[in-house]
Amino acid sequence: MYPDKKITIAIDGYSSCGKSTLAKALAKKLGYIFIDSGAMYRGVTLYCMRHQLILDGKPLNEKIEQALPFIKLSFIYNASTEKHDLYLNDENVEELIRMPDVASNVSHIATIKCVREKLVDEQQKMGQYGGIVMDGRDIGSVVFPNAELKLFVTASPEIRAERRLKELTQKGVSANFKTVLANLVERDLIDSTRTESPLIQTKDAVFIDTSNLTPTEQLQLSLTFVNQVLENCKDKTNC
Ligand code: DC
């Protein structure tokens, strides 16, 4: 069904809009690598929290820059979840980085220029051979501006908060709708108004509203776009 050509798929969008679920499903279907770039920002945030590099909610930028060479992030495949877990300096932190305390600090860490430069560099290396689906906020605009397919995914804030709350509850983390919604809205604002690589929908991105789509419907819809790109690539040598 899918030819040998391995494209790059960039998925951007607001927090908890389902982009990681979609990216993971697309990668599985296509036999591509899936990278959750948000996990990397969360990993740096966890390191900063553990090393007192965030004071009263404010990141200590200079100290964080000095610490960057000591932050090693890697993804290792977990057969039970069929997903790559994030390792911070060889420790599996996949669960820890999803906790509300990391969520409430991560947007601030993601505004720091040197943090973004380090992570963008690592992300570009991971995707240099194509065959990758990466989701985040700046994937189509900064990390892979030449990606063959760019998707911009969103859903209403209330629906996103409900989904996030369900995820947390399933993990046994206590949270309430109001707090989750407030965190999402705050993160949306910081992510889309920051100076460094704000979240934007690039002109060449396809817009998908997942509010009323099941994960299966989102996958089917996205596969139609993938097929269009692959079809267009058939007779082009530069594609
Ligand atoms: O996708 P997520 O919610 O796990 O992302 C966590 C935070 O990291 C989010 O507030 C925005 C930031 N982020 C970013 O700035 N750039 C990316 N490519 C991915 C995430």
Q: Which residue owns the Cα nearest ligand 1 atom 8?
A: 38
Nearest atom, ligand 1, residue 16 CA: 3
Residue 2 lies in a domain: no
Contact 64, 53 (CB under 8 A): yes
Between these two residues, 5 and 189, which has the higher pLDDT value? Answer: 189
How many domains is the chain built from? Answer: 1
Residue 212 lies in a domain: yes
pLDDT, averaged across the chain: 93
* Distance in Å, CA 12 to ligand 1 centroid: 10
Residue 237 lies in a domain: no
Q: How much is the pLDDT for 61?
A: 98
* Distance in Å, CA 205 to ligand 1 centroid: 18
pLDDT band at 82 (very low <50, low <70, confident <90, very high): confident
Of the candidate ranges 2-16, 45-59, 198-212, the one whose mean pLDDT is the lowest: 2-16
Q: What is the CATH number of the domain that holds 51?
A: 3.40.50.300
Looking at the chain, the whole-number percentage of residues with pLDDT higher than 90 is: 85
- For ligand 1, pick from 24, 106, 164 the residue to mutate: most ligand atoms within 8 Å of CB: 106
Contact 57, 105 (CB under 8 A): yes
* Distance in Å, CA 39 to ligand 1 centroid: 7
pLDDT band at 4 (very low <50, low <70, confident <90, very high): confident
Q: Which residue owns the Cα nearest ligand 1 atom 2?
A: 38
* Distance in Å, CA 41 to ligand 1 centroid: 6
Residue 193 lies in a domain: yes
- Write out residues with Cβ below 6 Å of ligand 1: 15, 37-38, 41-42, 106-107, 110, 136-139, 187, 191
Q: How much is the pLDDT for 215?
A: 94
Residue 35 lies in a domain: yes
95 lies in which domain range?
8-231
Of the candidate ranges 50-54, 62-66, 229-233, the one whose mean pLDDT is the lowest: 229-233
Would you say residue 2 has pLDDT above 60? Answer: no
Average pLDDT over residues 217-221: 97
pLDDT band at 29 (very low <50, low <70, confident <90, very high): very high
Residue 51 lies in a domain: yes
Residue 1 lies in a domain: no
- Identify any residues that bridge with 128 across adjacent strands, giving them in sequence order: none
For 137-159, b/e burial (b = at least 16 CB within 10 A) is bbbbbbbbeebbbbbbbbbebeb
In 99-238, where does DSSP find H-type helix? 100-109, 113-126, 157-170, 177-193, 215-233
User: CA-CA-CA-CA torsion for 164, 224, 34, 206, nearest 10 degrees?
Assistant: -70
pLDDT band at 3 (very low <50, low <70, confident <90, very high): low
Nearest atom, ligand 1, residue 20 CA: 1
Classify residue 73 by its DSSP letter: E
pLDDT band at 111 (very low <50, low <70, confident <90, very high): very high
| Residue range 142-187, pLDDT digits in tens | 999 999 999 999 999 999 999 999 988 998 988 899 999 999 999 8
Average pLDDT over residues 195-207: 95
Residue 16 lies in a domain: yes
4 token code pair? 């040998």
Q: How much is the pLDDT for 173?
A: 87
Q: Which residue owns the Cα nearest ligand 1 atom 6?
A: 38
